[in-house]
């Protein structure tokens, strides 16, 4: 039996013993991604319709869903594991490689290592988890699936990135982290954890004026529309 390799953390792809299986068309890739993300649960016809066409399905939507699923199944071959069940479809991939599952396993091990104070191991595992991502998740599918599924996937990536930065800070890599954290804060200006981590790195490298300036900027940004308060003022006075 060939080894399938399924990927959603970047362009949606399937591979057969390393060779790419061509899944042409946005709709077919959307069907494949939806089935993979369901983790063996049934994806109903209504759910597939919404992911393919939003709230404006064509009159032939049922026939088109059947055709697209059939073509995905044919492309993947007889071991695809796609079955019709009641009012939808289910896909079981068993132990075949799946990049989202690989990311979650590595990130989970990284969190466990961090909780045990094994920061070097945590940093290594979290780097490996983040390296599984090749591009923004779910590239090449419909906007409807992207709108529903990409934000939670991206959140898991950002949390893993925060945890990896934390592990590196615990290992004393404050100077090395400054450029990366500056980019992360610029790219995610309302993500307070990155700001807190940059304040920490600035403070630990004796850039206390910059740390205080960033804190005040964060205070103005987050107390404006949301009424929040930055959680990292104590970091500015940290003696390290």
Q: Where are the domains of the chain?
A: 4-91, 172-240
Tell me which residues of the chain have a pLDDT lower than 50.
233-240
| Fold of the domain spanning 4-91 | Arc Repressor Mutant, subunit A (1.10.10)
How confident is the model at residue 17, as a pLDDT?
A: 85
CATH of region 172-240:
1.25.40.10
Q: Are strands 13-16 and 19-21 parallel, antiparallel or unpaired?
A: antiparallel
How confident is the model at residue 220, as a pLDDT?
A: 83
136: phi then psi, degrees, rounded to nearest 5: -55, 140
* Mean pLDDT of all residues belonging to the chain: 92
How confident is the model at residue 177, as a pLDDT?
A: 96
The CA distances from residue 213 to 127, 166, 216, 217, in Å, are 30, 21, 5, 6
Nearest to 108 by CA among 126, 88, 94: 126
How confident is the model at residue 236, as a pLDDT?
A: 43
How confident is the model at residue 4, as a pLDDT?
A: 86
Give CA torsion, residues 140, 53, 5, 100, to 10 deg. Answer: 90
Q: Give me the helix-helix angle, 45-53 and 61-76, nearest 10°.
A: 90
């Amino acid at each position: 039996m060939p080894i399938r390799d399924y990927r959603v953390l970047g362009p949606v792809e399937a591979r057969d013993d390393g060779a790419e299986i061509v899944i042409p068309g946005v709709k077919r890739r959307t069907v494949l991604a939806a089935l993979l993300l369901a983790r063996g649960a049934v994806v109903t016809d209504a759910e597939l319709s919404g992911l393919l066409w939003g709230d404006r399905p064509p009159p032939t939507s049922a026939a088109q869903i059947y055709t697209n699923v059939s073509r995905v199944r044919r492309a993947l071959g007889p071991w695809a594991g796609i079955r019709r069940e009641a009012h939808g479809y289910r896909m079981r991939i068993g132990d075949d490689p799946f990049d989202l599952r690989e990311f979650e396993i590595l990130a989970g091990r990284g969190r466990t290592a961090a909780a045990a104070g094994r920061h070097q191991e945590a940093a290594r595992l979290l780097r490996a988890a983040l390296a599984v991502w090749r591009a923004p998740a779910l590239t090449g599918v419909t906007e409807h699936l992207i709108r529903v599924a990409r934000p939670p996937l991206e959140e898991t990536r950002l949390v893993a990135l925060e945890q990896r930065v934390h592990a590196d800070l615990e290992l004393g890599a404050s100077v090395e982290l400054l450029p990366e954290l500056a980019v992360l804060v610029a790219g995610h200006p309302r993500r307070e954890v990155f700001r807190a981590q940059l304040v920490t790195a600035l403070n630990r490298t004796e850039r206390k004026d910059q740390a205080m300036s960033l804190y005040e900027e964060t205070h103005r940004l987050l107390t404006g529309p949301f009424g929040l308060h930055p959680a990292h003022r104590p970091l500015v006075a940290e003696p390290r």
